[in-house]
Structure 1
Amino acid sequence: MNRRSNRAIVVNQIGYPLHSTKQAVFTKDGTFHVVNESSGIVVFTGRTSSLNNDPASGHMVALGDFSEVNEIGRFYIQHEIENVTSAPFSIQPHPYTALHHGLLKAFYYFRCGQELTPELAGPWHHSACHLAEGFVYDNPEQRLDCSGGWHDAGDYGKYIVPGAKAVADLLLAYELYPSAFRRPVPIPETDGFLPDVLHECRWELDWMFKMQHPSGGVFHKLTTHQFPPLTTLPEHDLEPLIFSPISSTATGCFAAIMAKAARIYQPFDAKYAHKCIQASVLAWEWLMNNPGVLAFHNPPDIGTGDYSDQQDIDDRYWAACELYATTHNPVYQDALLTMSKEAFHKFGLCWSNIGGYGSIAYLLSDITQTDCELYDQLLSGLRNEADYMLWKSSTDGYGISLLKDEYIWGSNKVVMNNAMLLLIAYRFFEDKRYEAAALNHVHYLSGRNSLDLSYITGFGDHSVQHPHYRPSIADDTTDPVPGLVSGGPNAGLHDEISKKSLQGLPPAQCFIDHEDSYATNEVAIYWNSPALFVLSHWEQQK
């Protein structure tokens, strides 16, 4: 455990865009100086706001604005009180290039079924893993190829629903910000033709094809019976792999992401795009033939993550919206119009409430092809959601859209999902407040938080060092795999080390950088993916 004494000034430890609003958060008010790190010259002197109570963190906090500093370089902030300084940070036109690259490269490190070579993976290389065929639950005689895809999180399971969310974020980032992905990662498939982000998504999509039953239904997940010990390297995890039963949520998400992929890959590989849409339509037909919710629950002898969900209307709605956006077939519009009248959240971006991707797909469609009434309802709903995020951000001492009771398992995913929604709203309404609020969420993730901690491994002056991530725990490399987003504060204290160490702390401080803390410090593909989307906005070449 390493709960060190935090600095009294917290900043985005990566940096600030050149002509953006630039603020630091102080736990001591007064006069402060912005100092050029290399020359020691004070480039700006300002005074903080008065201190105010921030209930989520339990701190009295003040803001110090240094937006007038539009000088490229490396800086730190010094309080008038001697020896009180911040982490160093950059001011650049594109300060997040390396971070954006690292967040995307992380998906290569999550790859299953492929050797990660020293040339591409550096000290975090390892042998190919999980190459054996898996067996279908309740039919152990049926064995199927199941190699490929991404490990979901700190374990080695592979799951359709969160995998679809992760791919959706990456494809949407490419769709809206293609210029952010001009730089090769590189990865084994780098060819100078297909952008590497699409190569990386294809690694997951190709595994997803293997999860579709000939009926069109999709197996919910592929895991061993139980999680392996933390000290297990991926290639040493040799327990039998099991295709868990089909679920309607997995099938709906599969139909949706394959339809979206068909649109995105069409200009590059028409044959592959056709394969995607065929798989999507087959999954949709299964959904039509199985109108009831086929919810997934772990069989009694399986103890891995279940991603269970008691409703599938959001998954089906997403599928219909993506299929309509790709095919313009009125059958899918009729279906989504019917479903849109049901009561479910139309802007959820979480695996358990994923309908927001459907609404976004519909809003991004050719407006001449959409139903005017539904389009206007969704546009109004998007503005209302974004305005609610603004209000929540205005009540938080660190400028993020989490209320005191929203520091849950994977709270950093919620932070980045909210920032995604703000940027989608900015695209439609061009309200600079939405963009500025989204940037505050980036600042929080990168160190401007009550723990003075960058929640992204390998990035920042003080970043997460001990994530709940088996490859980094089991290898002989001191530094963790870089570019992984940690789950973040979780007031639920769901693991033993959290219960032992964090009792009584305010919600925003319920985090421990310890490998045993799966409830606060695990990593996951669908925590990286919204962060990559958000950073793509500032990495695009304007």
Structure 2
Amino acid sequence: MFSVMRRKNRIIAAVLTLSLIGSVAGCGASSAEKQVDMVEAGSKGPETTGSGDYSVPNQIPSVLADQVGYKTDSVKTVILHGKKLPKTFSIKELGTKEEKYTGDVVKSVYNEETKEFTGIGYFTDLKEEGTYYACADIIGESYSFTVSEDVYANVFNEACKKYYINRCGMSLSEEYAGENAHSACHTTPAHLQEHPETEIDVTGGWHMDEQADRDTTVGCKVAENLLLAYEMNEAAFTDEAGIPESGNGIPDILDEVRYEVEWLLKMQDAKTGGEYGAALTDSSGGGDVMTYPVTVTPVSMDATINFASVLAKFSYIYQKYDGEFATTCLKAADRAWSCYFNNQKAQDNTTVFKAAAELYRATGNSGYGTVLEDYFVRTNFDQIFNTDENILIGSVTYLSTSQQVDVTRCEYLMKLLMKRSEDIAQKAGQSAYLVTKTDEKAFNELLDDMRCLTITDHIIYNHEYTTIIENHAHFLMGMNPGAVNYVTDATERTYADEAGVGILNDPQADALLVFMLSVLEKKGEE
């Protein structure tokens, strides 16, 4: 499960402390044959205690690589950092230690943030598939990595399949879920928090945390990002991800979103059209989390307008696969829209703009267009476009609609999108680590930036943008100051070593990762 196995649904990355020097070792041994403990270059070696025991400082490699690997035809980089950097680096084959590539260390600069020198090694010309490690005199070698055309395929599939693993209300077989298999959970009727005597069926949906809670607003946002990723890079998604619905002629990512949508429909109040806020488990009685009783929280206007938005988006995309169910979803979205406006105003929540764009695209109703125009004419629209994800996603939907639109308005939105993307590209280009943010607390912001760049890359393909997106994948999978793979736990140094949660175990971050990796998977098929 995303966080049923962890205590927090955010990424903990305590190791980005950047007090990293180098290793006295050169290119003499592969990372697989050496311990992580390294002695600082120029030091006197390990100190002895009074009892004669050695005390070796626990340090990490100063040659940083994506521990998952690199695509054969992509721009390939490693980052070197430390008090003193060499002028060259090498790539060696793991096992044989045969040198396969030698290059110069470029862009060596003093990094004020980390108080050290950093440099970049490019090895783009190495296209032979295999497993390697990077090394350099003075500072040692990196963890191992793979060069392969489909290097991210397994990570991408695992990221997509995390939602199946977190399905509530159905049994998961070993065939599809492996060690995560379990019997059906939370299948008994839930009770309304405001009216405990009222029972309600809210089986289904995705668990969102270690308590197996299910939140409608979070679920809507996760589903929205998965749907938008599918829209942007449809070729990346297959019907063979290894879930029960595989092979039914519908991309598995849409099958997965439908599972969540069916639960969201159960969470809609039949009388008002409003959306209940969450289905929370009650642990007060003790026992197994999978059998906790469930309480449904009151209707939330934030959940209601998010529900209207994502149900309209799903209806539009799913129409060609199941027209009847798509129509049911669109009607539910319209009811939620009406419920929201019976209680609040358009300016109370920018999700209204996004929902209006989705409903306008799905129906062409001019009433939704009027709400969009009310936002477009705001004097601060440029500002909120750059800071509010609802405005960004709503604008992208407006640009992609086949309904009647204002061409001048579309040109204006494209300029804003291009300007935002260029700012992201410039910021990444100025970074020693080739990314927009290096703070471990800002991974979701980094992933948000890559979502914007992925959208722009879809509309106007730009090889530079694809390279920047890849650099961010490299950063998250090991090419960062802590040399930590924050995505998977299958490489040499990962989030699990630092008691962290990992991106795949955070449902919102995982959806953004799927978004980012989808463009890399798609490009590989072109």
TM category, shorter: 0.7 to 0.9
Question: Equivalent residue for 2:23?
Answer: none
CA–CA separation in structure 1 for the residues paired with 2:486 and 2:202 = 32
Summarize the alignment of residues 135-150 of structure 1 with structure 2, pairs less than 5 Å apart: 135-150=191-206
State the Cα distance separating 1:459 from its structure 2 match.
4.0
Change (3 A) 1:66 1:266: same
CA–CA separation in structure 2 for the residues paired with 1:111 and 1:402 = 32
The correspondence for 2:222, drawn from 160, 166, 177, is 166
Question: Equivalent residue for 1:85?
Answer: 141
CA–CA separation in structure 2 for the residues paired with 1:55 and 1:396 = 11
Question: Equivalent residue for 1:12?
Answer: 66
Question: Equivalent residue for 2:355?
Answer: 319
Is 1:378–2:419 an aligned residue pair? Answer: no
Which range moves more in the overlay, 202-211 or 175-184? 175-184
Summarize the alignment of residues 211-290 of structure 1 with structure 2, pairs less than 5 Å apart: 211-214=267-270, 215-224=272-281, 234-236=289-291, 238=292, 240-290=293-343
Letter in 1 for 2:367: V
The correspondence for 2:505, drawn from 509, 512, 523, is 523
Summarize the alignment of residues 21-420 of structure 1 with structure 2, pairs less than 5 Å apart: 21-28=75-82, 29-30=85-86, 31-37=88-94, 39-49=96-106, 51-57=108-114, 59-81=116-138, 84-214=140-270, 215-224=272-281, 234-236=289-291, 238=292, 240-292=293-345, 312-342=348-378, 343=380, 346-347=384-385, 353-366=389-402, 369-402=404-437, 407-408=440-441, 411-420=442-451
Letter in 1 for 2:342: N
Residue deviations 1:279-318, cap 9 Å, x none?
111111112222348xxxxxxxxxxxxxxxxx85321111
Contact 1:126/1:235, CA 8 A, preserved across alignment: no
Residue deviations 1:502-522, cap 9 Å, x none?
xxxxxxxxxxx226xx7x989
What TM-score comes out, normalization by structure 1 length?
Answer: 0.80
The correspondence for 1:424, drawn from 455, 464, 485, is 455
Contact 1:33/1:80, CA 8 A, preserved across alignment: no
CA–CA separation in structure 1 for the residues paired with 2:369 and 2:215 = 28
Contact 1:154/1:523, CA 8 A, preserved across alignment: no
Question: Equivalent residue for 2:19?
Answer: none
Contact 1:446/1:460, CA 8 A, preserved across alignment: no
How big is the alpha-carbon RMSD for the aligned residues of Structure 1 and Structure 2? 2.6
Residue deviations 1:65-99, cap 9 Å, x none?
112222222221111248x2112222222321111
User: What's the secondary structure of 1:141's corresponding residue?
Assistant: coil
CA–CA separation in structure 2 for the residues paired with 1:522 and 1:172 = 18
CA–CA separation in structure 1 for the residues paired with 2:116 and 2:220 = 38
CA–CA separation in structure 2 for the residues paired with 1:522 and 1:426 = 24
Change (3 A) 1:388 1:292: same
CA–CA separation in structure 2 for the residues paired with 1:430 and 1:195 = 24
Letter in 2 for 1:143: E
The correspondence for 2:482, drawn from 451, 465, 468, is 451
Question: Equivalent residue for 1:514?
Answer: 499
CA–CA separation in structure 1 for the residues paired with 2:133 and 2:282 = 50
Residue deviations 1:356-408, cap 9 Å, x none?
22111112223x7222232122211111211221232133221111276xx53
Change (3 A) 1:58 1:532: farther
State the Cα distance separating 1:2 from its structure 2 match.
9.5
* Pairs aligned (count): 464
State the Cα distance separating 1:9 from its structure 2 match.
0.8
Contact 1:349/1:357, CA 8 A, preserved across alignment: no
CA–CA separation in structure 1 for the residues paired with 2:223 and 2:496 = 26
Change (3 A) 1:422 1:458: same
What TM-score comes out, normalization by structure 2 length?
Answer: 0.82
User: What's the secondary structure of 1:363's corresponding residue?
Assistant: helix
Runs of 4+ residues deviating >6 angstroms: 226-229
Residue deviations 1:111-152, cap 9 Å, x none?
111222222211222222222222222211222111110111
Rg (Cα) greater in structure: 2
CA–CA separation in structure 2 for the residues paired with 1:204 and 1:461 = 34
State the Cα distance separating 1:107 from its structure 2 match.
0.9
State the Cα distance separating 1:39 from its structure 2 match.
4.2
**Percent of aligned pairs with the same residue?**
27
Question: Equivalent residue for 1:537?
Answer: 519
Change (3 A) 1:76 1:524: same
The correspondence for 1:442, drawn from 455, 465, 473, is 473
Consecutive unaligned residues of structure 2, counting only runs of 5 or more, are 1-12, 16-57
Change (3 A) 1:324 1:396: same
CA–CA separation in structure 2 for the residues paired with 1:528 and 1:270 = 29
Question: Equivalent residue for 1:472?
Answer: none
Contact 2:487/2:503, CA 8 A, preserved across alignment: no
State the Cα distance separating 1:460 from its structure 2 match.
3.1
State the Cα distance separating 1:185 from its structure 2 match.
1.7
Change (3 A) 1:537 1:50: closer
Change (3 A) 1:395 1:155: farther
